[in-house]
Structure 1
Amino acid sequence: MQRKGITLKILVTGSGGFVGSRVVTLANRQGIECILHGRESGYGGDSAIFRANLGAATNWMPALAGVDAVVHCAARVHQMQDSENTLHRYQKTNVDGTLQLARQAALAGVKRFVFLSSVKVNGESTLPGRPFQPPVSRIPQDPYGRSKYEAEQGLLQLAQETGLEVVIIRPPLVYGPGVKANFHTMMRWVSQGIPLPLSSVHNQRSLVFIDNLVDLILLCLRHPVAVKNVWLVSDDHDVSTADLLADMAVALGVSCRSWPLPPVILQTVARLSGKSAVAERLLGSLQVDISATRRLLGWRPVVPYDQALAMTAQAFLAEKAGIDTASDKEGK
């Protein structure tokens, strides 16, 4: 894709987000020119950022001029409180907005469109020894996963109609320095020595370190085999909740205070308290099979699991030290 004497130029949507910002950083290190995108409601007045909401009427043409490829990270993200009644809100952004961008990219002469989807397209959990593979056995019921599935289908259809080279990547939980949400909460609990009744949870879950995910994204910008395919990605090191807590404690330099309680009891308590979805994430398995990604793309995770966890923990501790220092100054 790179033209002789001209740097590859890409539009990165959601470039201020967790994944998008890392795409920009690592792409720049490879000499790739990035056009940045942020929401219209975003803070800051940086004129170098193309600001537009992800919607069916958005005009992306000013940001697509001279662009070789789009890395589409922007999305309406999954929220714990969402229900089936919110499906249309996900569709407006993740389906209609994505397809609007892709259609205009094709019209602008963009060659490739890398879409960051989600393993939720495959489902919420896997059975022992049966990791997810790219084919989808049934349409997802989760509104976020459903919107990503519909966006994938629309993009593949658009690829047939226009010749746009569509690449789809479905990551599981992404972690790394600066991670928020559940993974950040877990690190906070472990760092504080909070006893967690999870040492008897021997499930298996696939995770992906952010630099491993971004390395695959950047590979897919150029690899000829990547086109019109769905790729699963992980650290190639599945881990149980119990082992993840123990490994994180080591990375944080604290003792792991996890203790055993039969998972059936945890499931019952979660169901009675209306927290079944939370329990599924802690107790259930979710594995992905990346053998096709490894074999066909020649890709391997660039950062091993132990090193990735250590980097994530170090960033968390640095953040925590900064917050504690600021609190001390405010208290004086």
Structure 2
Amino acid sequence: MKIIVTGASGFVGQNLSHYLSENSHKVDSISLRNSTWKGSLAGDVIIHLAGKAHDTKKTSDTSEYFKINTDLTKDLFDAFLQSEVQDFIYFSSVKAVADEVSNVLNEEVVGNPITPYGKSKLLAEEYILSKEIPMNKRVFIIRPCMIHGPGNKGNLNLLYSVVKKGIPYPLAAFENKRSFLGIDNLNYMIKEILENRNIASGIYNFADDDVVSTNDLVKIISLTLKRNNRSISIPKPIINGIAKIGDIINFPLNSETIQKLTENYMVSNEKIKSAIGIEKLPVSAEQGLQKTIKSFISK
């Protein structure tokens, strides 16, 4: 099977391309930076990973999200419809649906993103879903939650640094539940979609089976680093008061940081597991996180 990958130089692109190549698929990367790719889509599948990632520092021009995440996706999808390529796999994001989750996020939730990133991803999804798909083609919209793996610290970097430096984690009084996605499980689910023509077109959330609290994550990091878990339960009113001060004086422990570390964001993966025909993914959330953290230590 010949697979065309956009965004192959990114973390997911590199890992997925290597994994698919190891499993006897031919991978061909293309760049969307200029129009030379048009008219040359010769393959069986397009996996569209290229995009502008969410800028947590909020320094990006808003229009860039829509130029890259929305408009380029529209162009590529139109070219796919006119080509002989059979499958189109678009990597969107759970953030195309919701920035905050009160219960469990499934594929039926109506999208209501707040950030330009989320809005640009949702607009691309809506465009794809608005088109009539030929009978011989399949189209998948993948919504991964926070992806991690060896070589990609992502949002784990802050907690990893705190534990490594021996700084007590001060938010143990907050108990939350978050979904993560290890790169090994991501690779596995994509491979299953590619190789099983019985899996129908549609929107699929990608997440590990188990949710993990930030407190559990600190424990996992501590155990992997062979450090004592130095978490402390400072009363929530005191933490919230410190956060308000942090908002004013630009202190690291501010309202935004606390929200990111303590919010709930649970994502259901039942639809994709049912489509594949499995009860559990190959790698548990804890195993995946341990593998990622061990990769930090070796650097």
TM-score (norm 2): 0.90
**What residue is the counterpart of 1:208 in the other structure?**
181
Are the structure 2 counterparts of residues 197 and 225 from structure 1 closer, same or farther at C-alpha, using a change threshold of 3 Å?
farther
Say how many residue pairs are matched.
292
Does residue 1:283 correspond to 2:276, yes or no?
Answer: no
Opposite residue 73 of structure 1, the aligned amino acid is L
**Runs of 4+ in structure 1 over 4 Å off:** 161-164
Q: Which residue of the partner structure matches residue 80 of structure 2? A: 105
Instruction: Indicate how the Cα distance of structure 1 residues 264 and 35 shifts in structure 2: closer, same or farther if over 3 A, else same.
Output: farther
Question: Does the Cα contact within 8 Å between 1:11 and 1:63 map onto a contact in 2?
Answer: no
Alpha-carbon contact 1:201-1:240 (below 8 Å) kept? no
Q: Write out per-residue CA displacement over residues 14-61 of structure 1, whole angstroms, 9 at most, x where no aligned residue.
A: 111111111111101110000023xxxxxxxxxxxxx442xxx73423
**1:170 touches 1:233 (CA, 8 Å); kept in 2?**
yes
Change (3 A) 1:301 1:90: same
Q: 1:297 is aligned with what amino acid? A: I
Preserved contact between residue 60 and residue 104 of structure 1 (Cα < 8 Å): no
- 1:1-332 aligned at under 5 Å gives the runs 8-37=1-30, 51-53=31-33, 58-61=35-38, 63-65=40-42, 67-82=43-58, 86-127=61-102, 130-160=103-133, 164-274=137-247, 275-299=254-278, 300-319=280-299
SS in 1 for 2:155: helix
Whether the 8 Å CA contact 2:4–2:28 is kept in 1: the answer is: yes
Identity %: 29
Distance in 2 between residues matched to 1:226 and 1:34, nearest whole Å: 21
SS at match of 2:266: coil
Residue 240 to residue 255, structure 1, CA distance change in 2 (3 Å):
same
Give, in whole Å, the separation in 1 of the partners of 2:169 and 2:108: 36
Instruction: Assess, with a 3 A threshold, how the Cα gap between structure 1 residues 186 and 108 changes in structure 2: closer, same or farther.
Output: same
Q: How far apart in 1 are the matches of 2:243 and 2:40?
A: 47
Partner deviation per Cα, 1:230-265 (whole Å, 9 max, x = no partner)? 111221110111111111111222122221123444
Q: Could you tell me how far apart the structure 1 residues matched to 2:100 and 2:88 are?
A: 28
Q: Secondary structure at the match of 2:209?
A: coil
Unaligned stretches of 5+ residues in structure 2? 248-253
Inter-partner Cα distance in structure 1 for 2:71 and 2:81:
15
Q: Displacement of 1:286 after TM fit? A: 0.3
What letter corresponds to residue 213 of structure 1 in structure 2? L
Paired residues of 1:263 and 1:283 also in contact (CA < 8 A):
no
Change (3 A) 1:264 1:133: farther
* Residue 230 to residue 271, structure 1, CA distance change in 2 (3 Å): farther
SS at match of 1:11: strand
In the TM superposition, residue 169 of structure 1 has moved relative to its aligned partner by 1.1
> What is the rounded CA distance, in whole Å, between the counterparts of 1:96 and 1:192 in structure 2?
43
- Measured at CA, do residues 225 and 232 of structure 1 come closer, stay the same or move farther in structure 2, by a change above 3 Å? farther
The one-letter amino acid of 1:69's match is V
Q: Deviations over 1:163-188 (max 9, x none)?
A: 64210111111111011332123212
Conserved 8 A contact 1:159-1:165: no
Q: Which amino acid aligns with 2:58?
A: D
SS at match of 1:224: coil
Question: What amino acid is aligned across from residue 315 of structure 1 in structure 2?
Answer: S
- How big is the alpha-carbon RMSD for the aligned residues of Structure 1 and Structure 2? 2.2
Check the 8 A contact 2:46/2:88 in 1, yes or no: yes
CA offset digits 1:174-221 (Å, max 9, x no partner): 111011332123212212212220222210001111110121122222
**Structure 1: segments with no counterpart, 5+ residues:** 1-7, 38-50, 320-332
Output the CA distance in 2 between the equivalents of 1:261 and 1:132.
30
Partner residue of 1:330?
none
